[in-house]
Chains A and B, each alone.
Chain A
Amino acid sequence: MTLTLPGSLRSRRSAGRVALFFGCVAAVGSSSLEAQSLFNGVGLGVPTDPVDARSRALGNIGIGLWGTALLPGDPAAAAGITVPTALFTAQPSWVESTRDGTTAEARSTRFPLLGIAYPAWNLGTLTFSFGSFLDQRFSAERAVSLELQDGPLDATDEFRSEGGVSEIRLGLARPLTGSVAAGLQVGRYNGTLTRTLTRSLDGIDAEGSVLDFSASGRWAYSGTSVTAGASMNIGTVGRVAGSVTWSGDLEATPSESTEASGRAYDLPLQIRLGGTAVLAPGFAVTASFGSADWTSVSAGLGNATAQSARTYGAGVELGRAQILGRNAPLRFGYRRSDLPFALADGSPREIVWSGGFGLGLSETASVILAGVDLALERGTRSGGLIDESFWRAALTLRVAGF
């Protein structure tokens, strides 16, 4: 597709969009992980999909959506991107957890996906993305009463786990025929994990003279992944896509000051399938499925166990809705996911109902030059004695230009 814009206007618009995009990125800082949950403390944490707000609103795992997209889980979806595009997703969440009748609250904002797509002449579309993979942030406390020579002494143990695993991917997507496209991505896992146990001797009444005991370890993650995917448009009535991600070992390397050793985790093969059916002009339904068998990392997880995790999602998109005279497709979805790590008392599962809309801020010749997507999810996670309910929002800003 070729757009014809006056040169000066083109450069001004492009510069403005880039400034807007990076201004927002600077305003919200940088982080790469999403989700907040007590399940972050079980096993390797909670896998988090690097998806945008549109996928969230549709209950989709990020594959098989109608149109072009920059989604790490659907490498072929970028094949149709004909102008340089960047997107950024912010995702605040509010969680209430209950375990054995004790309720705790959490809130956070994560940035699960930062992506850039660039049409590279006739090679296809080059993609770069920085997305989340595993969230391992949580903390835990226990009150202890120590028996010392002077008598009992109250103390508090606090354990904090900060960090997780994210993934940087470089990819290429290109059409193979008029309706079939393929994509390939090479990814690199990274991130750090800092785990700190602190004991505070609250019972000694000597302000400023009692020092906490602290033991900690810090590890850097590394590893490689390869994702291959293909998609096919079925005329103007549908699209199907699938992808597979192979991962090498996820290496956790201790820092010099860390006493504990490192470890390698054998990450599972991840399979994704998805599709969209356009049942009527402006009315489409989507469905997606993902699977990964995490039992390969179950060894050495202490009292946690790993299991096979499947995700199902479905949703509808009403494409002809408008807000303020602009296209604002409405979306609704449902998603059910198994969490791969569980305590002995049960297999956890996440169920989400979602809704949202998109808004094209600037559109030229059917190319969205600037747009936002918003999703709001209401979900529950339950497994054994842990029950969580949460609200989660997602906002994706997408800009494109020459």
Chain B
Amino acid sequence: MIRIKFFALAGLCVLGSMACSELNPTSLDEEFLPPAPLTAEIRLGWDAFASNLEVFGGFGSPLELGSGVTARLFAGTLNARTLARFTGYPQAATVRDSAGNTRADSTLTFVGGWVVAVVDTLASVSSGPVTLSLGALQQEWDPRTTTWEFAVDTINDRRSWSEPGAGPATDLGMAVWDPAEGDSVRFAVDSAQVAAWADTLDLSRGVRLAAETEGVRLKINNVFLRLDTRSSIDPDTALVLTAPRQTITFIYDPIPAPPPDGIRIGGAPSFRTVLDIRVPDALTSPQSLCDAAGCPFALTVERLNYAAIVLRTRATPPAFQPTDTVNLDVRPVLLRSALPKSPLGTSITGGLGRRVGPDLFGSAAGAEIEIPVTQFIRDLIRGATATGATPPSTLALLSTFEPLSIAFASFYGPGSDLEPVLKLVVTAGPSVTLP
């Protein structure tokens, strides 16, 4: 009896469990569906959705890039020099003595060295070999705030370079970098200069790498010091030790001014563009929408499927044209009155942002770039965020990584034929009714 009841119960439960894998019958027949809703695309011009465009610069420092730039009259205008400072020298080395034993030698003598610069061959622009010059800096400088004009530019302490462009510098010689031969170039340094850089408390310590060949822009990935070293344990043995870079940055001239009529994003320090957004309560076009759903057509959260700011790329000045993909980010400005130092909300684009190829800011300028802002617009329509807070109505367009490069992205601004527009995709349909 118990066995029979058990099997009956088990059988029933098996049948019941089938309910978990329910699959409704699905028809592909038009007769089973209610009338199709209408979906329309609307493009609002600048004056209908945005205002108060402003471009702010100065976000971040070239120091944060962790690389340098060296240029001379690139695109006829840009001069840039890489500045670097090395760490303290190694205090000891492991040396094999005359008996063949390995010992630590802490009495080292540095008899000379080489400054080695590593060039990013892909991100650099040159038509052939490039002559580079190396100099030793002679005055105190601050890697975080130094510019072409100023060695130090912190609060209450602004000191100019004696010569703009981190000069004057003690000439340490020249060398030729040939991209066909490799990615590095080196400069010989005598023992006196090596000794001068050994004092880590000396704030003037550093090297300046400059291009002597005109029309080039090189990205310097690294600069370090190779030390020719003599051991006290075995003076006949030559050692080569390394003093890696402590910091690397670059200075450049001219620093581009914010554009009066456009949108600029990126650079080092970076530019950001902010604009105020508003959304109309109702739409009065296109005609197909009015014919189907009537106008004015109330713009509601339920009806909005997609919203995007559509920008048109503009040729960036050649000296600052991107050579790699630009990642665009959009974030809400949380306190507009605090601009340009307002905190920003979380990224609307998410992840790596909207990726745009570098050619769209040069030869292929004028392309449309769509940046989705659907949730932001829905919050504006609703008048509240998902948490019930008042939604910000100002957006900041910026680089996902700030700064990423000396180059920046440019877009047409309001007043142009290619001004930004707000693209909306809306859907409306009749109410779902009973059969």
> Residues of A with Cβ closer than 8 Å to B?
20, 23-24, 27-29, 31, 36-38, 40-45, 88, 90, 92, 95, 97, 99-100, 102, 104-109, 136-142, 144, 146, 148-150, 153, 155, 157, 159-160, 193, 195-197, 199, 201, 204, 206, 208-217, 219, 252, 258-263, 301-304, 324, 326, 343, 359, 361-362, 370, 372, 393, 395, 397
Contacts and interface: CB of A to CB of B under 8 A. Distances in A.
Interface string B245-257: 0000000000000
Contacts of A211: 304-306, 374, 378
A213 B426 CA distance: 8
A395 B15 contact: yes
Given A43-B435, A301-B435, A149 B43 contact: yes
B181 to A, nearest CB: 44
Contacts of B24: 36, 106, 108, 137-139, 160
Contacts of A97: 25, 27
Nearest to A44: B435
A144 B425 CA distance: 15
Contact of A41 (B32, B36, B40): B32
29 contacts: A24-B12, A36-B24, A41-B32, A43-B435, A88-B12, A92-B15, A104-B27, A104-B28, A105-B23, A108-B22, A109-B15, A140-B27, A140-B29, A142-B33, A159-B33, A159-B34, A197-B432, A209-B375, A210-B305, A210-B372, A213-B39, A215-B431, A217-B434, A258-B431, A263-B434, A324-B4, A343-B31, A361-B4, A361-B8
Contact of B36 (A23, A157, A195, A372): A157
A20 B9 contact: yes
Contact of A197 (B13, B27, B429): B429
A107 B23 contact: yes
Nearest to B375: A209
B99 interface: no
Say what secondary structure dominates the interface of chain B.
mixed
- Chain B's interface size range is 35 or more
Contacts of B31: 303, 343
A213 B32 contact: no
Contacts of A193: 434
Contacts of A397: 8, 12
A162 B39 CA distance: 25
Given A23-B9, A213-B302, 12 more contacts: A24-B16, A92-B15, A106-B23, A108-B22, A108-B24, A109-B19, A140-B26, A197-B37, A213-B303, A258-B431, A301-B435, A361-B1
A40 B372 CA distance: 40
Given A107-B22, A201-B306, A260 B28 contact: no
Contacts of A104: 25-28
A73 to B, nearest CB: 23
A59 B33 CA distance: 34
A34 B33 CA distance: 22
B289 to A, nearest CB: 11
A39 to B, nearest CB: 9
A301 B303 CA distance: 28
Q: Among B15, B28, B373, which residue has the most Cβ atoms of chain A within 10 A? A: B15
Q: Among A36, A201, A215, A252, which residue has the most Cβ atoms of chain B within 10 A? A: A215
A153 B350 CA distance: 24
A105 to B, nearest CB: 7
B404 interface: no
A199 B434 contact: no
3 tightest Cβ-Cβ pairs between the two chains A and B: A28-B16, A209-B372, A213-B427
Q: Among B23, B25, B350, B373, which residue has the most Cβ atoms of chain A within 10 A? A: B25
Interface in B411-435: 423, 425, 427, 429-435
Nearest to B368: A150
A148 B425 contact: yes
Contact of B432 (A142, A196, A301): A196
Contacts of B12: 24, 27-28, 88, 90, 372, 395, 397
A228 B197 CA distance: 109
A138 B36 contact: no
A311 to B, nearest CB: 22
Contacts of A43: 435
Given A97-B25, A99-B29, A213 B429 contact: yes
B370 interface: yes
A227 to B, nearest CB: 25
